[in-house]
């Protein structure tokens, strides 16, 4: 119980600090949003500037501005976009599904491929398959995702015409059809990380006494792997998968641009370019929150995978 309270307090503190940094960074950013808000340069008069500054609370001190923003954000009101004159919450709501679908599909790809290749490498440890997997995934992860994206588009969309060139699609199947190439481009880099962690974690388990004990009483090789080696490797694998997913949720910008998907990443880039501060702040806040949610979920799942963690938590 005490742990849960500490945990929650920690999350609130993280939110306060990070939201303040986000807000203050906007405040310190070059370029005055007032000029953008007024739009037509001919309208810029001292009276008009003062009017706009008052309207958007830009004449208040930083802390007051932060308090106004943070308190309304807490109630779900993230402000109004300078550019679209639309609620930031609504704007995010229209963009989120595409990004979430992209990350979900990409996660399926990198989890299946990463863990699969990791298992393969661990079981063929020190042999040719092992080094081939390492070499191949390292090479693939060193190519930037936009290059892979362009490559996939030119081969599978333009050349073979199997997939659409851009867009996120409507409806479930059409969306998956549209998102396969971008999801692949996003997943490639993560495969190397996940396969490496899987391999390392399994290699450590393979050398343990309980694995040999399981072998010594006649457990078949596949059951030894499933019930002992892989079962005990889930901790590090899960942690890594969660960290990669969390950073993907905040890192779809490039792939969304390459494939013309109007998701959250695209929204962020556009907002930065047009000094649309409320949107930038909201997107950054969303990134912090998703990261916190994902890592907290991992912490909650860990004791289920390894009962020793529960005991350690109780003692501390």
Partner 1 sequence: MLLDIENLSLSIQAKGHTNKILDSVSLAVAAGEVVGLVGESGSGKSTTARAVLRLHPEGAQVTGRIQVAGISVLPGTDRDLKRVRSSEAAMIHQDPRAAFNPVRRIGDSLTERLVQVLRADRGEAHAKGLALLEAVGIRQPDRRMRQYPHELSGGMLQRVMIAAALTSDPKLLLADEATSALDVTTQAEVLAILRDLQQERDLGVLFITHDLHLAAAYCDRVYVMYRGCLVEELAGTDLFIAARHEYTKKLLSAVPTITARPSTTEATA
* Site of interaction with partner 1 (CB under 8 A): 208-210, 212-220, 223, 227-228, 231-232, 305-308, 311
Is 48 or 226 the residue whose CB approaches partner 1 more closely? 226
In the complex, minimum distance from the CB of residue 127 to partner 1, in angstroms, rounded to a whole number = 11
Is 142 or 315 the residue whose CB approaches partner 1 more closely? 315
In the complex, minimum distance from the CB of residue 105 to partner 1, in angstroms, rounded to a whole number = 31
Helix 277-305 to helix 307-315 angle, to the nearest 10 degrees? 100
For residue 119 the two structure tokens come to 């298992």
Is 196 or 228 the residue whose CB approaches partner 1 more closely? 228
In the complex, minimum distance from the CB of residue 6 to partner 1, in angstroms, rounded to a whole number = 24
In the complex, minimum distance from the CB of residue 124 to partner 1, in angstroms, rounded to a whole number = 12
Is 48 or 231 the residue whose CB approaches partner 1 more closely? 231
Identify the sign of the CA torsion 201, 198, 287, 76.
Answer: negative
**Distance between CA atoms of 142 and 172, rounded to whole angstroms?**
32
In the complex, minimum distance from the CB of residue 215 to partner 1, in angstroms, rounded to a whole number = 7
Residues 6+ apart with CB under 8 A from 185: 145, 146, 148, 149, 152, 255, 258, 259
Is 159 or 218 the residue whose CB approaches partner 1 more closely? 218
Is 178 or 228 the residue whose CB approaches partner 1 more closely? 228
**Distance between CA atoms of 110 and 147, rounded to whole angstroms?**
18
Q: Are 237 and 306 in contact (CB under 8 A)?
A: no
For residue 266 the two structure tokens come to 């695209």
Is 216 or 316 the residue whose CB approaches partner 1 more closely? 216
For residue 246 the two structure tokens come to 């969390």
In the complex, minimum distance from the CB of residue 254 to partner 1, in angstroms, rounded to a whole number = 39
In the complex, minimum distance from the CB of residue 295 to partner 1, in angstroms, rounded to a whole number = 22
Residue 170: C-alpha distances to residues 2, 17, 97, 199 (Å): 46, 38, 11, 38
**Distance between CA atoms of 30 and 11, rounded to whole angstroms?**
30
269: nearest Cα among 146, 143, 108: 146
């Amino acid at each position: 119980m005490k742990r849960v309270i500490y945990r929650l307090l920690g999350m609130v503190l993280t939110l306060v600090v990070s939201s303040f940094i986000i807000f203050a960074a906007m405040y310190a950013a070059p370029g005055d949003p007032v000029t953008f808000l007024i739009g037509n340069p001919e309208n810029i008069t001292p009276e008009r500037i003062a009017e706009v500054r008052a309207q958007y609370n830009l004449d208040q001190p930083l802390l007051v501005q932060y308090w106004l923003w943070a308190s309304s954000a807490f109630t779900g009101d993230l402000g109004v976009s300078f550019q679209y004159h639309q609620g930031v919450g609504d704007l995010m709501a229209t963009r989120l599904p595409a990004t979430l679908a992209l990350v979900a599909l990409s996660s399926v790809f990198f989890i299946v491929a990463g863990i699969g290749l990791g298992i393969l490498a661990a079981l063929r440890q020190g042999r040719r398959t092992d080094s081939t997997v390492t070499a191949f995934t390292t090479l693939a992860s060193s190519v930037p995702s936009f290059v892979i994206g362009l490559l996939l588009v030119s081969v599978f969309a333009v050349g073979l015409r199997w997939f659409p060139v851009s867009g996120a699609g409507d409806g479930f199947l059409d969306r998956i059809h549209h998102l396969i190439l971008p999801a692949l481009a996003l997943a490639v880099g993560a495969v190397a990380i996940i396969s490496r962690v899987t391999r390392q974690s399994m290699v450590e388990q393979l050398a343990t006494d309980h694995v040999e004990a399981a072998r010594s009483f006649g457990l078949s090789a596949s059951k030894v792997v499933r019930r002992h080696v892989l079962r005990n490797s889930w901790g590090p694998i899960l942690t890594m998968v969660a960290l990669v997913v969390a950073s993907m949720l905040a890192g779809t910008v490039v792939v969304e641009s390459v494939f013309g998907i109007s998701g959250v990443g695209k929204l962020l880039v556009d907002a930065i370019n047009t000094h649309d501060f409320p949107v930038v702040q909201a997107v950054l806040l969303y990134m912090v929150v998703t990261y916190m949610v994902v890592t907290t979920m991992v912490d909650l799942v860990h004791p289920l995978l390894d009962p020793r963690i529960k005991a350690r938590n109780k003692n501390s």
